[in-house]
Amino acid sequence: MKSVKAMCLFVFLLCLSSVWAAESSVKYVFLLIGDGMGPSMRQYYQHEYPDTVLERFPVTVQTGTDNVFGKCTDSAASGTAIACGIKTYNWAIGVDKDQRPVVSLAKLLRDRGYSIGVITSVSLNDATPAAHYANQKSRKDRPGILADLCKSNFDFFAGGSLYLPPKHTLEDFGKLLKKSNYELRTEFLAGKSQLADRVVYITSMSPVWPKDEGVKRHVLSDITAFAADALSENPKGFFLVVEGGAIDSGGHTNDLARTMREMVEFDKAVQSALAFQKKHPRETLIIVTSDHDTGGLNIAPELPADTTLWKKQQKDALKIEKEFAKIFPQSSDEELIAFLSRAFAMGELTAAEKTAMQKALKDQRDPEIADKKKKEYRSMYGYYNPVVIQMLRLRDARCGVSWTTFSHTPRKVLTNAGGPGQELFKNVRENSDIPRTISKVLFGKDIIPQ
């Protein structure tokens, strides 16, 4: 009798432990990628927005981003590392250094019955999102990447735009999608019940500027919340990739305001993931990372008392640049400087700031600069209008920051994890460790081929 009781107790405990194991297993995985979001951008962002959720994750590690040659990465090589767990060459999309296709974690999970979603605030066929669904030797093979998207069998896609192959329209893309049973939609209406299965959204996700008041365009966080809810109907679970894609452009243009506004939207998307996790705490793992640092932002040893000047800029700098180009030929130096001072809310310029602006104007009027022939100009002003860049520099200096480069840097980025299995992410050293670690959380082992 005693032994039967003991046996029953043993079986009961065995069942209980397997229930526990099943209950603690992760079903929903968010992988959120801030493109170009370097560590100092995050530090400055936290200074501006102390309530950010980005710095509240229980696990934070430094992550290397170099490509297979130990050189500074582009978004393709690091996108492939984050998607497929291997290091490769710059421009590679889902192929190794010998240009052989490699499989992404997203595809392995798709084949195991998970629902897969890919969301980006920039072009849906740009490198970072593409690395999860495409295998192409070059990131510039836009038609090849689009064809791979159609073949992917992923459940949900959303992008802020699309790189269309020459002579192609969005309607052509819609027809192509239809052949693969996807439905193209160009407007996202948050809150309205919508079909999520095999939908591809191409809808603007540009940040909203004060002058755009009333326009609700940046919907990264809404789409993230919507996709998570819809994909969670699959009892097996989901893998949802979300990219804040234009933080990188802010870095390339050395534009603090653009960078910060894009980070606000990325922060909100992370909040959407956290809100979902709150409803399913034992089943949801959230990873936040970046593919590389862009611009090499430096923060002054002592920040000015008021750093919020960037918030007063009313329009995107690209718009300001266009308006500036229009008035440039017929305006005097003084008028041009006054125009830019207004546009970037600078008020009265100091004598040193005026001198810097006049130097930039002189360079701008140099006929050779129009052809961007002079290497020295490129290193000084990047590929942008020297006068606009110079005013941005002065504005950013008043906010306590400066930039190192117009390119990517080899600085390590930060990776965060929150949720069951988060401890395993303490061992993440390189970006290629990320998908392998997600696999270990889900299956207790690395299912990605070496």
Q: Which residues bind Zn ion (CB under 5 A)?
A: 248
CB-nearer residue toward Zn ion: 244 or 421? 244
- The 3-class SS string of 83-119 reads HHCCCCCCCCECECCCCCECCCHHHHHHHCCCEEEEE
- Measured CA to CA in angstroms, residue 173 lies from 70, 165, 245 at distances of 37, 10, 21
C-beta closer to Zn ion: residue 222 or 265: 265
Indicate the residue among 248 and 321 with the shorter CB distance to Zn ion: 248
One-letter identity of residue 27: K
Closest CB 262 distance from Zn ion, rounded Å: 12
Question: Whose Cβ is closer to Zn ion: residue 128's or residue 277's?
Answer: 128
3-state secondary structure the chain: CHHHHHHHHHHHHHHHHHHHHHHHCCCEEEEEEECCCCHHHHHHHHHHCCCCCHHHCCEEEEEECCCCCCCCCCHHHHHHHHHHCCCCCCCCECECCCCCECCCHHHHHHHCCCEEEEEEEEECCCHHHHHHHCCECCCCCHHHHHHHHHHCCCCEEEEEECCCCCCCCHHHHHHHHHHCCCEEECCCCCCCCCCCCCEEEECCCCCCCHHHCCCCCCCHHHHHHHHHHHHCCCCCCEEEEEEECCHHHHHHCCCHHHHHHHHHHHHHHHHHHHHHHHHCCCCEEEEEEECCEECCCEECCCCCCCCHHHHHCCCCHHHHHHHHHHHCCCCCHHHHHHHHHHHCCCCCCCHHHHHHHHHHHHHHHCHHHHCCCCHHHHHHHCCCCHHHHHHHHHHHHHCCEECCCCCEECCCEEEEEECCCHHHHHHCCECCHHHHHHHHHHHCCCCCCC
Q: Which is nearer to Zn ion, 290 or 415 (CB)?
A: 290
Nearer to Zn ion, 64 or 250 (CB): 250
CB closer to Zn ion out of 12 and 69: 69
- Name which of 76 and 438 has its Cβ closer to Zn ion: 76
Least distance to Zn ion, CB of residue 65, Å: 12
- By Cβ distance, which residue is nearest to Zn ion? 248
For the bound state, the minimum distance from the C-beta of residue 272 to Zn ion, rounded and expressed in Å, comes to 24
What tokens does 341 get?
């001072």
Could you count the other beta carbons within 10 Å of the beta carbon of residue 119? 28
Nearest to 78 by CA among 151, 128, 146, 140: 128
In the complex, least distance from residue 167 CB atom to Zn ion, rounded to whole angstroms: 27
Nearer to Zn ion, 155 or 248 (CB): 248
Name the minimum Å distance from CB 42 to Zn ion: 17
Q: Which is nearer to Zn ion, 90 or 104 (CB)?
A: 90
Q: How far is the CB of 296 from Zn ion (least distance, A)?
A: 12
- The CB-of-289 to Zn ion minimum distance in angstroms stands at 15
CB of 36 to Zn ion, least distance (A): 5
Q: List Cβ neighbours of 19 (8 Å cut-off, separation of 6 or more).
A: none
Minimum CB distance to Zn ion, residue 357 (Å)? 28
Q: How far is the CB of 174 from Zn ion (least distance, A)?
A: 28
Smallest distance from Zn ion to CB 250, Å: 10
User: Which CB atom, from 248 or from 267, has the smaller least distance to Zn ion?
Assistant: 248
